[in-house]
Structure 1
Amino acid sequence: MNTIQAVLFDYGMVLSGSPDPAAWARIRSITGLAEEPLSHEYWAHRHAYDRGDLNAESFWHKTASGAGIVITPAQLADLIAADTDYWSTINPPMLAWVESLQRAGIRTGILSNMPDAMEVGLRARHQWIEAFDHHTWSHAVNRAKPEPEIYQHAAEGLQTPPENILFIDDKAENIAAALAAGMQAIQYSDHTTFEQEMRARGLDSLLQLERHSASQNGKL
């Protein structure tokens, strides 16, 4: 196995936690839609939104139109804010590990299928996003996982050969595409299982960076 020189993270359900149900309830309240038509239209157009084929305004108007409603400019602003809140929860153990990698000088990146307004909203809210060495946002490159070009873009941005990058994502199809691009990859479900997989692959040293750092500083 090649040495890991950089770790590349998906945002949703890896760096973030589960979506906030209260924020989804706000979206339902703003639109006045029942669960089934809202969920159907939201996900029917979400990939195009992530990819940059739609912007925030066109996504929400398309979603509303498909469900048979019209939204006002005020509702549009509220929907964008609620959607950002929906994906704003965090995954504390993963973020703690990210910080240990960064302190150890290992390059870190984000490769996320994320739309324009959400990137702006999340970066304003989560200052830790700025500490990553490189960000690949799908809307900005008009490509989305699992398209192969987006993995190449991320590797080039990290200035690291694909074989020396560990990619972490919650979706099997995105993991398969990363492997096809030459990266090492682990599918994320929960942090305990993730750490078990890291140890099984002989990557214990990357999990022990906090202890090694403290020892070198004379704290242990």
Structure 2
Amino acid sequence: MPEVVLFDLFGVIARNQAPEAVHALTEIAGAAAPAFLDAYWRHRPPYDRGQCTATAYWQRVALDLGTTFDTSRIANLIAADTDSWGAVDDDMVTLIERAAASGVRLALLSNIPEELAAHYEQHHRRWMRHFELVAFSCRIGRAKPDPEAFRWCARELGADPGHILFIDDRAENIAVAGRLGMRTHLFTGPARLKGVTT
């Protein structure tokens, strides 16, 4: 067993955006999906790292779309964006609770903006309390796949990278963690994790 299991959040514990959630965002923005998503993701890294506010982020998205968003529309976009990432996998929550009960040290590393981080802290306390370290990119100023995000976690945990198992659904993040000496698991579903984390 590893000393620490370091989880990704979205695509592992929490569900990725559903098509209907993306559609709701494009409707609020008044933009076609391809152009909207291109702008949405292009400007996401500094927002996730806490280097710009939500208002600045959405203003940059609007600029790419050749439009402007007023205060009311930005508020609606922030709310819809938060909702779009808010669903969690109950099977994964159960797995986390079992792993915690077995004495495994648990940690979380997520690329996430401040508004969404605050949402999870407020609405998902029951299972988030099991993580001794919560590394939100907006708070640590580093985001995957930057190697410093992983090094920061190892330092804060006081654990050798070789004693950490990192679980993520994205191959590029897994690759970086592996090069740093962490054990890794490319997530494809809860069933394959049961023997890994408990």
TM-score by length of structure 2 reads 0.92
Larger radius of gyration: 1
Q: Deviations over 1:110-146 (max 9, x none)?
A: 1011111111122222222233110111121221111
- Letter paired with 1:101: A
Alignment partners' CA distance in 2, 1:89 and 1:41 = 23
- 8 Å contact kept, 1:8–1:167: yes
Alignment partners' CA distance in 2, 1:106 and 1:150 = 21
Equivalences, count:
197
Please list, as runs of the form range in 1=range in 2, the aligned pairs for 1:21-36 lying within 5 A after superposition.
21-36=19-34
Match of 1:157 in 2: 156
Match of 2:4 in 1: 6
Alignment partners' CA distance in 2, 1:110 and 1:56 = 23
Please list, as runs of the form range in 1=range in 2, the aligned pairs for 1:3-152 lying within 5 A after superposition.
3-127=1-125, 128-152=127-151
Alignment partners' CA distance in 2, 1:161 and 1:101 = 20
* Structure with more contact order per residue of length (Cα contacts < 8 Å, sep ≥ 6): 2
Alignment partners' CA distance in 1, 2:144 and 2:55 = 22
Query: Displacement of 1:41 after TM fit?
Result: 0.5
Alignment partners' CA distance in 1, 2:170 and 2:16 = 14
Give 5+ residue unaligned stretches, structure 2.
Answer: none
- 8 Å contact kept, 2:178–2:184: yes
Give 5+ residue unaligned stretches, structure 1.
Answer: 208-220
Q: Deviations over 1:69-102 (max 9, x none)?
A: 1111111111111111111111222221111111
Identity of matched residues, %: 34
Aligned partner of residue 131 in structure 1, secondary structure:
coil
Alignment partners' CA distance in 2, 1:126 and 1:64 = 31
- 8 Å contact kept, 2:23–2:33: no
Considering only aligned residues, what root-mean-square deviation do their CA atoms show, in Å? 1.6
Q: Deviations over 1:173-197 (max 9, x none)?
A: 10011112211001112233x34xx
Q: Deviations over 1:138-173 (max 9, x none)?
A: 121221111111111112222322111110001111
Judging by fraction of residues, say which structure has more helix.
1
Give runs of ≥4 in structure 1 deviating > 4 Å: none
Alignment partners' CA distance in 1, 2:129 and 2:17 = 22
